Structure 1
């Protein structure tokens, strides 16, 4: 009589596994944040929204305050524009991601 022994082979995880949505989103958020930091106009608005007003003159504060009314920062420090609802006045405003000039060609092509 012959005894047959089966060895348990552990499966190696494939390196080509599909990434989930969270793994895709993290690099995208980082890339958007870096490009927003490189844009001087967007950085002025971000500083104003964070109440970091020491580096601005009175004229700059007045100018930036008019622009900053249309923007909001999220928890990740990413700038969004408030999209006003035009059709129905009772609809809530929508937040729209601010795409810096340097990233626009990537979206268009």
Structure 2
């Protein structure tokens, strides 16, 4: 905390460090369950160090794919259309103060086409 207060951590303010920080959450969600499954199923058949390196590589790759291809698209979509998504999933058509029906129908059609 002292280094933060004294502003000595400017070298950490790089885009790749930010991207690595973003990758930690999917990595956190994936590593324990999938790691245990891999270790339990492969431990008696292969070298434990090979399994460890393979599991680490797989988890980092999976986290990268989730951040790059899934989370980025979903976050843009959720930022752009939060009201439309709420109305769509709650199946609200028209109520006073709600969004227009044609917008909800458009989002439903675009989601069903994909």
TM range (shorter): 0.3 to 0.5
Structure with the higher strand share, 1 or 2: 1
**TM-score, normalised by the number of residues in structure 1:** 0.35
Q: Bigger radius of gyration, 1 or 2?
A: 1
**TM-score, normalised by the number of residues in structure 2:** 0.34
